[in-house]
Chains A and B, each alone.
Chain A
């Protein structure tokens, strides 16, 4: 069995004194934190306090306006009838028109309220209670709890009998909760917008939430006038107070009996709830959240395949080996020697190629043969030219002779 986290109950008069040590945390505080459920439930529950309102159904429609139709060089929107005033002939009725009625005027039969499944509401409440016991969440919500001795803060039932506000204030000061109240006071601002003329002049932050158990407790009156502080009975825990704005982690001050009542209210993981009929706390997805341990365990490592390395076939940039000597040497290990040989050859004042052993005899013979052929060709050409000349001479002389004869 895992060890259960323990909580101390503090004395109401002295924050250093502990009246009851090592009380086990109720099972609610072990519920998995589900901000998705909370935000869903909160957005819907928050609508349930709304009051119906509507625009005047006749607003913008109290004219006998009619469209002038086509052919009058004006838009076809209905126009105010009559004459003798600026208003006549002006557009009316449309949502786009000045002084026209709004589009889709609000009706009182708008669906103002939302129903949420009971189980969802209960899960949300349980998560919200669990979140009040997690310091980072409470800090993240913005509560000033650095001087508070313990989260969750559980105090003996004596505070339920406080009647004076001074008692309440001193109590808060003793337990470091006054810083939160001071925050509320110092950040009270006049609200932006028209609402300030409609009874919501100030925007006030939320301070601590005091949760009590006994019905005839007087602490409500004591804490009522302290800015930011809310008081609620544990049997009527409200998600809108536990997670204001859908944000988990309200700073909650529990009385001992209220704290003890939570197990009956929400039940435990062993027993279903007594007071919420048939309700069983939400179970976490992972029973063992220690991922490092799971991953490194023998059972997992036996099955796991070796890690894949990104196989890079080639560098991102291709270098031209004909210009880049490094790239060339990488591809052709013989290239270095070839280059060296080439430069050496240039240095030795010979042509870049290796000296080809010329077959001089063959060269001479081929030269001679070429000369012979070309000589023969020359002779043949000369002979042909001469022959043509002779024929021409003969022909012209014949012609001459014939002409002379004539």
Chain B
């Protein structure tokens, strides 16, 4: 380009506006190149960090599962029983539609992020949320999700709420930008936070949009009855995982 300019200058003057514009453009281009190099460097560092933490989480999960099994066996061998800690996390799935709802039920479902049929959400268990769930029990089914189900939900059906928009989780940048300040830099960090109901579970869960699941392959049993009564609604504890697998 500069060679061409030299030739032109021999014949005629280059208009000043063109000179100014080319100078400005080259400056901007340099900036872009510099920023890109920076970004790539940062990405590399982050990826190494994420790999390390993912490895650590894997070990942690295995250790937790192993300790549970060991404790049960130990208790059995002593002739007693091992009572594992109560679940801290439940997966709630809405099984009823939007028509003819009691306004309190409607509002509570909205608070649980369950605005639509077959929407699913993670909920931490405490006194407050137990009361909420009790209120809407006939309209939902819930239970204790397994690690696989949590992982599959977030990978396959994971969308984030960013600026009020539903953004798919296609890269760790989105997670890093929103949750980086809570120490959650990637998707495995997010999954870990949800499974272990960590210190920033609230922010992590709020970051997630409600999971929009499909209807279960094989169908429900009877939505008009509770699960205990050979139906579907209410607490089905660990059996939520079978249902979730059919719905993801």
Contact = CB atoms under 8 A, between A and B. Distances in A.
Interface of A: 292-293, 295-298, 301, 306-307, 313-315, 318-322, 327-328, 330-335, 337-338, 354, 356, 359, 362-363, 365-366, 368-370, 373
B156 A369 contact: no
Interface stretch (B47-55, B104-112, B128-136, B225-233): B47-55
B79 interface: yes
Nearest to A330: B171
Interface stretch (B16-24, B139-147, B235-243): B16-24
| Residue among A307, A331, A362, A366 facing the most chain B CB atoms (10 A cut-off) | A331
Given A359-B70, A369-B77, A331 B17 contact: no
B162 A332 contact: no
Nearest to A295: B17
B214 to A, nearest CB: 13
Contact of B50 (A292, A313, A322, A334): A334
A351 to B, nearest CB: 14
Contacts of A292: 15, 17
Interface of B: 15-18, 20-21, 24, 28, 47-48, 50-51, 54-55, 58, 62, 66, 70, 73-74, 76-79, 152, 155-156, 162, 165, 167-172, 174, 186-188
A332 B79 contact: no
Contact of A293 (B17, B79, B155, B168): B17
B40 to A, nearest CB: 14
B152 A322 contact: yes
Nearest to B55: A334
A169 B184 CA distance: 90
Contact of A332 (B15, B18, B187): B187
B187 A334 contact: no
Nearest to A328: B155
A194 to B, nearest CB: 59
A306 B28 CA distance: 9
B76 A320 contact: no
Given A313-B174, A314-B170, A333 B51 contact: yes
A334 B186 CA distance: 11
Nearest to A329: B47
A208 to B, nearest CB: 38
Contacts of B58: 334, 338
**Interface SS of B by simple majority:** helix
A41 B174 CA distance: 60
A115 B162 CA distance: 61
A373 B81 CA distance: 13
B54 A362 contact: no
Contact of A362 (B20, B77, B169, B170): B77
A314 B73 contact: no
A158 B50 CA distance: 93
B170 A327 contact: yes
Contacts of B66: 356
Given A296-B17, A333-B51, A314 B167 contact: yes
Contacts of B171: 314, 330-331
B157 to A, nearest CB: 9
B77 A296 contact: no
30 contacts: A293-B16, A293-B17, A296-B17, A296-B18, A296-B20, A296-B24, A297-B17, A297-B20, A301-B24, A306-B28, A321-B156, A322-B152, A322-B155, A322-B156, A328-B155, A331-B171, A332-B50, A332-B54, A332-B186, A332-B187, A333-B54, A334-B51, A334-B54, A334-B58, A338-B58, A362-B74, A365-B77, A369-B77, A369-B78, A370-B76
Contact of B21 (A296, A313, A315, A354): A296
Nearest to B32: A309
Contacts of A335: 54
A331 B172 contact: yes
B170 A366 contact: no
A312 to B, nearest CB: 11
Contacts of B74: 362, 366
Nearest to A315: B170
Contacts of A365: 77
A369 B16 CA distance: 95
B25 to A, nearest CB: 11
B186 A331 contact: yes
A341 to B, nearest CB: 10
State the 10 A-B residue pairs at the shortest beta-carbon distance, nearest first.
A334-B54, A318-B168, A296-B17, A365-B77, A333-B51, A366-B77, A366-B73, A366-B76, A321-B155, A333-B47
Given A314-B170, A333-B54, 6 more contacts: A295-B17, A306-B28, A314-B174, A327-B170, A331-B170, A356-B62
